[in-house]
Structure 1
Amino acid sequence: MEDFMTTQMGTPMGTPEGDDYSTITDDYSSGTEDYSEFSSCDKSYVREFRKYYEPPLYAVIVSLGVIGNFLVLWIYVHFKSRKKTMTDVYLMNLAVADLLFLLTLPLWASDALRGWTFGSLLCKFTSACYKINFFSSMLLLTCISVDRYIVIVQTTKAQNSKTTRLLCSKLVCLIVWLLAVFLAVPELIFASKKDDPDSDWQFCTLVYWANEHNRTKILVLVLQIFMGFCVPLVVMIFCYSCIILTLMKTRNFEKHKALRVIFAVVAVFVLSQLPYNAMLIVEASQAANVTITNCDISQNFDIAAQIMKGVAYTHCCINPFLYVFIGVRFRRDLLKMMQYYGCVSPKGKLSKLYGTPFRASVMSDTDTTQALSL
């Protein structure tokens, strides 16, 4: 698994010597260093930190994420007779990707507590499943920003091509999933169980084939940084900048609310993903040219990596609330569904608050999911 769950961020990864069958291991627990003066670095403190940090954090992420994403799918199915929009399709696929991602976290929590006890095949499958849903989630967020751009900035074009856009959204989702599977191939190839020399535990990690300057590892990291962060960030900044310029020209009473949501969407993405990807950049640099040789610095770096990885994982439980439940129509749909199942009284305060007609606006068109409206 190419993340900091089992990555030795601070381990010198110089050019290995030997034949083509030697390996490079991304595992802070294994202590596989190429330099004798660094080989005695004890990573037990990092393992202990992971043991007490990851399981409770993952429990919170899984609990919130399953509830939020399950409600998204429930609403989608409950109103299946209604004609779906392009963003509806993206949000449904995003919920599926997040739910599948969440299913892998209990296994990684168990890995942190007692090592990997589920076999090599499940190690490869879980690592690949994690990466597939990570990439698909990031790319679907990109698709949502493009759809918002088309609906708000290219309004006339969007109105004239509703049917075509809906068909395109399904094709785009298929391409996203296929691309995510392709990007997860390294996990299927390199994920393997690795013995911990300091205990009788085993860990699920990536064991690379050794080659000059660790080209394989660097290529995998660059692909993850580029496709999982750089491309989505650039597209989101472009689309939302154009949306902001369009909204600033309008005199709509919901404009300021929409702007706040846009800033929240971009801020959450950057704050959750930037630190994690910055660590990946450092790891790529470490693989290409040893930059950290001090044991204390290496340990501190590993701890920081664990924290940043946990922050990055929160995106799968924030997405439903950020991209769905802030939308006017989804909130109304949730209320109607709760009324249908008797959870909320039709005459209650919530029904009076969200049951009255709302004014149409540039950010709350009736034909598109309210992914940016309040």
Structure 2
Amino acid sequence: MLRPKEDAVYPFSALILDDHAFQRLVAVQAMQGLVSGPILQASEGAEALEQLTTHGAVDILLCDIQMPGMDGLAFIRAVSERGLARSVILCSEIAPELRHSVMQMVDLLGLPLLGDLGKPLRIVKLAAMLRRFEAKRHESGKTLPALIELPSQVEVQRALVDGEFEAHYQPKLDLISGRPLGAEVLARWRHPRRGVLGPQHFLTAVLRYGQLGELFEQLLEQGLALAGRLRAEGRPLPLAFNLDAEQLSDRKLCTGLAEGLKRHRLLGSDLTFEITESSMLHAPATSLENLVRLRLMGCGVSVDDFGTGFSSLKRLCEMPCNELKLDASFIRGMIKHERYRAAVASTLAFAHTLNLHVVAEGIETVEQLTLLRSLGGTCGQGFLLAKPLAEEQLLAWLKQASATAC
């Protein structure tokens, strides 16, 4: 067991597992300058496990993956089962796609993953990981996250009757010109005491109490009224609504929608309906009939969170969709992972071949936007471009966006 330098900045204990003696020495010396707790080291998983069993759990486990004897995979699993480490940092020379899979494994085991150093070890990168870990630990020690208490059925029903649920709109933009192409309709609850609440505070309750249909009808009516107003002013804005599997199987869906379009003097092309891949896995004939009817009415049908479900290409080709929404996880992952980048590029090419429009979700950084453009992405949404907006905020945003678009 080694004692770090006295001027080390983080109050952590650590274990370094690496079968290469020189690289282990480099890692130990780097850690000595950064943490003030004891530092264990081992060249093989069984040896490391024995040390942890004797010493007790450590804050940081810096771990190689490929080594003789008990390798890093088996060791991390054993540590997780016995609660012998509070976080993991990977430090390995295995291929990037394999390291990414190991990172997913660590996450599934419930161990906080601070990052992937790769090799050779870079002290600056290690210090940044420890700094984030300390900041997060300090925050969690000061304020524990409040549990979300679901509203009662009476509260939800009262909110529906009083019209407290309102539509907010997240714009979709042309990634080249910045021109608004449409907006997704999202549910918010303007609570009389708690202010504006996101769906995490009420959607589970709405589903549990069987009130999703009523909520959807209110959001649809608000959206249709806004779309009708904008079309009458000569600046139509297509809106997208999320459809649940249960709603999609409702035989009255298209009849009610046709009446709404007529009432607000709208075209079918003013609306798109987003469905998830998973909702169509075992969809009844009624759902497919409704999708076909929506397309016959001129409405768009979009596959939401594309790439995260389990539908086959055959199933996708059978669905009457004209749009794919590329899940935000691909947009986040493509910056660091070649496979994600390839998946985005191939999806864009695949969709173009099938004459499908693609919307990239979750664009949050300039780096993501720049890469997406270079891969051929032309439409997207995300906090970098615009946050969800209440109706009056949207109208003001549209005015400003129209003035600044190329």
TM-score computed with the length of structure 1 as normaliser: 0.27
Q: Which has the higher helix share?
A: 1
Report which of the two structures shows the higher radius of gyration computed on alpha carbons. Answer: 2
Q: Which has the higher strand share?
A: 2
TM-score (norm 2): 0.25
Q: Which has the higher contact order (CA 8 A, sep 6+)?
A: 1
